[in-house]
Amino acid sequence: MTYQSNIRRTSNYKSIAKNSRVLSANPYDLVAVLFAELRENLDLMVESARRNDNARMFEFRAKALGILNGLDESLNFEAAGELAQTLHTIYREAARRIQAEIGASFIERAESAREMLHEIEKAWLAIAPGVARV
C-alpha cells in the first residue's frame, strides 16, 4: 500500500467520523464541531503560511472564514443580547486578522485570531452540556 493511499484512507475515516458526529449532534455539539473545524483550519492555514504554500494557505483561510461566518450568522441577538453582540464583534475582528494581507505580520495576526477564537471555544466547551472537552 502506498503512502498516498494511506493518507486518502485516513482522510476518508476522518470524514466519516466527522459526518457521523455532525448528524447525531445537538445544537451545543454542532457548535463545538464548528469550533474544532475552525481551529483545525486555522492551524493548517498558519502552518501553510510558514511553509510559503500560499495555495494551501488560501484554501484553509477560505474554509476558516466560511466557518467563522457560519458561527456569526447563527448568533441570536434577541435571546443572547449583549453576549451575541460581543461575539459578533470578536468574530468580525478575527475575520479581519485572518484576511490580513500576506506579509511579515500575517502569521502573527492569524495566530492572534486563532488564540481569540480558541478562548471562545474553551468557554463554550465549559458551559455546553455533554460536549467532548478539548
**129: pLDDT strictly greater than 60:** yes
Distance of alpha carbon 71 from alpha carbon 51, whole angstroms: 29
- Angle (CA) 127 33 58, round 5°: 125
Which domains are assigned to the chain?
27-127 (1.20.120.340)
Which amino acid is present at 7?
Answer: I
What is the residue-wise DSSP string for 35-100? HHHHHHHHHHHHHHHHTT-HHHHHHHHHHHHHHHHHHHHT--HHHHTHHHHHHHHHHHHHHHHHTP
**107: pLDDT strictly greater than 90:** yes
Question: Which cell numbers hold the place of 38?
Answer: 475552525
Distance of alpha carbon 95 from alpha carbon 99, whole angstroms: 6
**57: pLDDT strictly greater than 60:** yes
**74: pLDDT strictly greater than 90:** yes
Q: Tell me, what's the pLDDT at 101?
A: 86
**Cα-based distances in Å from 7 to 2, 14, 36, 49:** 9, 11, 21, 22
Q: Which phi and psi (to 5°) does residue 79 adopt?
A: -80, -40
pLDDT tens figures, 5-49:
555 555 555 555 555 555 556 888 899 999 999 999 999 999 999
